[in-house]
Amino acid sequence: MIRATEDQEYYELSSPTALPKASGFLWNEQMMVHMNCRGYAVAQFMQPEPAKYSHAPNLEAKTFMQPEQPYYAHHPGRFLYVKDEESGALFSAPYEPVRVLPDQYTFAIGKHQLVWKLEHNGIGVEMSLSLPRVDAMELWRVRVTNLSGQKRNLSIYPYFTVGYMSWMNQSGEYNEALQAVVCSSITPYQKYQEYDRIKRLKDRTFLLADRQPTAWEVNNEAFEGEGGISAPSAILQERLSKGEARYETPVAVLQYSLSLEPGEEQEYRFLFGPAKDEQEITRVRQSYFLDRNSAGEDGFVQAEREYAEYIREGRGSIAIHTPDPDFDNFVNHWLPRQMYYHGQTNRLTTDPQTRNYLQDQMGMSYIKPKMARAAFLTALSQQIVSGAMPDGIILHEEAELKYINQVPHTDHCVWLPVCLSTYLDETNDYGILEELVVFAESEEVASVHEHINRAMDWLLQARDERGLNYIDQGDWCDPMNMVGYKGKGVSGWLTIASAYAFMIWAEICERSGQLQNSEEYRLAAQETNAVINEYLWDGNWYARGITDDNVVFGISEDQEGRIYLNPQGWSLLSGAADLEKQQKLIRAVEEQLETPYGVEKLAPAYTAMREDVGRVTQKHPGTAENGSVYNHAAAFYIYALYAVGEREDAYRLLRKMLPGPDQEDILRRGQLPVFIPNYYRGAYRQIPHTAGRSSHLFNTGTVPWVYRCLIDGLFGLQGNREGLQVKPQLPADWQEASVTRWFRGVELQIEMKREAGVSATQVYVDGRHLVDGIIRDLNSDAGEVKVMVKLPVAEME
């Protein structure tokens, strides 16, 4: 039912009903489209804020992307109705809205295109979606084949939702000269001050066809009639009535009547997207359908090819072959793709949260380090002179801080050294530390080194008399807006994270010759760790924080929110937890937070508001931050397990982040393993029957941390100043694995094998044993490097 193709270019699903929300997504430099197996779509483009060209049937709220989004009959979609002109039988591809189960069905999620192939009543339909590299529009192919033994007379009706564009002005009509449905609207506004902005918006939606249709309908009400969207009255007629929409809800439906001999096929191509005006649509038609390049390709074909190339540019820095083929497929194909998406689009926002921006670009260090470098400098140029980082990074001159970025969070500085360290490991570009960067709202300019010193100093001063970091209205991944809004509450996690950041920064300082700073921040880390152990250790794990009214929470006495994941993992890294504490807290996490679907962010999930903690306690138990398997936090915890050598626990949890090879697990989660969602439903012990479900949201800081788990942990192929440190932590039951590692311009072929008689990891390059496991003198001109790693035969735990 669910499988990867042999070339692993596609993930395939063979039923539209078994996994009804199964979906794939495509993006380019201006847009994103998320389509599910049944034909429903969520698409947005940037101008500069996210906007839609295919709307809901009502006036939808503008908001951030929602988890577990519900679909409904008139949810925006892309469909093809197919009518047999003789029998009158009707079905639709991919499945919605007629919902006739086809005889054969495949939904294939590719890296650069989505494909549906189906057969019904002797008719084959193939639909595919790709994007151009730059323009905001969808490239659709529809192929109809007569698979039966006799001639068939059909009408096909490509259907593209336009929806409720605007209460102020909307209309739609078919433009014969353009061979296009053109729907127009004006974004509603009331204050004249907004006019300059709205008049520049792409308020038109077009559907351009590569050939003249037999008929069309642009008026949704006229199209549906009493039959409704699942059996439109207009389709019962021989011809659509060429209607237009005048303030009514528009739709773009074309009719092509065709006769197919046995075996004959016809292909149609469409462009669907937003435009400013008819001139723009005319230009699009010219360049995609009329102009041809020297190879005879029109713009459509060229765009598909260029888009495939664009996606290929997003290759990761490892390719693996292990005893776990599903894992290999995900790591080799889908994980870097998701990471690339984050780095390229910054989640289609103009004001990414600072921590998200830094982590997304941390991931980009493995793919396009130059982009990561530029992004780090952009972020630092918005730091204020005190060292504080803003809540979001403004990426467009018209952008402003929105939604959660209007709530002051205190953790952003932590991420600077943490994320930069990956960039440095991967590139060895310590020169970035000498770059001069301005401060926001200031004339002052300082080196990156000085910028990060100030960020660390800011964390050192934003503390109470005990030395614990203030939480203000929130920190990472727990929207705890009421712990510290009165100015006294502190964050356990943030204090621990600060200690880790000081340590990381001390190491970077040491490696870059800033020995005094190094010593200073190492001392700060130690002192912070001491404070942590004095105030936050609860006996078996670390507390999450202390409220304005001095109530410690995330402790054994609490009935709900007794243990939080984040303080535990980070304390493994900061050095706060000694060996005994490490074992205790790892056991506590396993007992209280681990589930078949991963490790939960807190437990037991809150079922009622706790007014001294705040918003997290009002989220639905098991979703988002309230007790879900929040993969971002989980990935960090796994990273920490690798850091302290807990390879078996780490791999077990890592594997749970992806749906398992068994179909039941995939069904449970409701998602194909083509991306890691931001969460799986948690509250496993409280609400077992919903636990494990995917949020279906692919925006998440999880992915670069999974990549770091692989590079720094599982395969142990992390860069340092001298070269590549090889130090794998394969799970005990893997006898071997091979990895191709692209690193600083060199391709390394690394074979890892367990061998009897080997007592510790041994690294060989061209037969030469490297005692410290560091491969030095990498030369990008010298061709492929062959590495052999011998590992002891493991005792199974």
The footprint of a second copy (CB under 8 A) covers 17, 56-63, 66-70, 72-75, 99, 164, 167-171, 186, 189-192, 195, 199, 220-221, 226, 228-230, 246-249, 403-404, 406-407, 473, 479, 481-482, 485, 609, 614-615, 618-620, 622-623, 681, 687, 689-690
CB within 8 Å of 450: residues ≥ 6 apart:
none
CB of 105 to a second copy, least distance (A): 14
Cα separation of 408 and 404, whole Å?
8
The nearer residue to a second copy, 373 or 615, going by C-beta atoms, is 615
Active-site residue flag, 478:
yes
CB of 167 to a second copy, least distance (A): 5
Cα separation of 284 and 134, whole Å?
13
CB of 441 to a second copy, least distance (A): 23
CB within 8 Å of 494: residues ≥ 6 apart:
410, 411, 414, 469, 471, 475, 476
Look at the block and give the residue holding tokens 């009400």.
221
CB of 642 to a second copy, least distance (A): 33
Backbone angles phi, psi at 655, to 5 degrees: -65, -30
Cα separation of 148 and 382, whole Å?
64
Residue 335 contacts residue 316 (beta carbons within 8 Å):
yes
Strand positions, DSSP E, 654-713 = 679-680
CB of 689 to a second copy, least distance (A): 8
Cα separation of 475 and 597, whole Å?
25
The nearer residue to a second copy, 246 or 587, going by C-beta atoms, is 246
Look at the block and give the residue holding tokens 């994320």.
419
Q: What is the 3 state secondary structure string of 87-156?
A: CCCEEEECCCCCCCCCCEEEEEEECCCEEEEEEECCEEEEEEEECCCCCCCEEEEEEEEECCCCCEEEEE
Cα separation of 376 and 360, whole Å?
11
The nearer residue to a second copy, 253 or 319, going by C-beta atoms, is 253
CB of 26 to a second copy, least distance (A): 22
The nearer residue to a second copy, 186 or 440, going by C-beta atoms, is 186
The nearer residue to a second copy, 205 or 514, going by C-beta atoms, is 205
Which candidate in 478, 538, 649, 712 is catalytic? 478
Distance of CA 266 to the CA centre of its chain: 36
CB of 229 to a second copy, least distance (A): 6
Token pair belonging to 52: 């839609």
CB of 700 to a second copy, least distance (A): 16
The nearer residue to a second copy, 689 or 768, going by C-beta atoms, is 689
Token pair belonging to 388: 């504080």
Residue 574's SS3 state is helix
The nearer residue to a second copy, 54 or 528, going by C-beta atoms, is 54
Backbone angles phi, psi at 25, to 5 degrees: -140, 155
- What kind and span of H or E run contains 41? strand 41-46
Q: Is the dihedral of CA 289, 291, 296, 300 positive or negative?
A: negative
Cα separation of 779 and 331, whole Å?
26
The nearer residue to a second copy, 164 or 707, going by C-beta atoms, is 164
CA angle (361 as vertex; 357, 363 as ends), nearest 5: 125
The nearer residue to a second copy, 332 or 473, going by C-beta atoms, is 473
CB of 277 to a second copy, least distance (A): 12
- Hey, what amino acid is at 697? L
Token pair belonging to 449: 């080194």
Task: Say how many C-beta atoms besides its own lie within 10 A of residue 149's C-beta.
Answer: 8
CA angle (93 as vertex; 90, 99 as ends), nearest 5: 65
Active centre residues (catalytic): 478
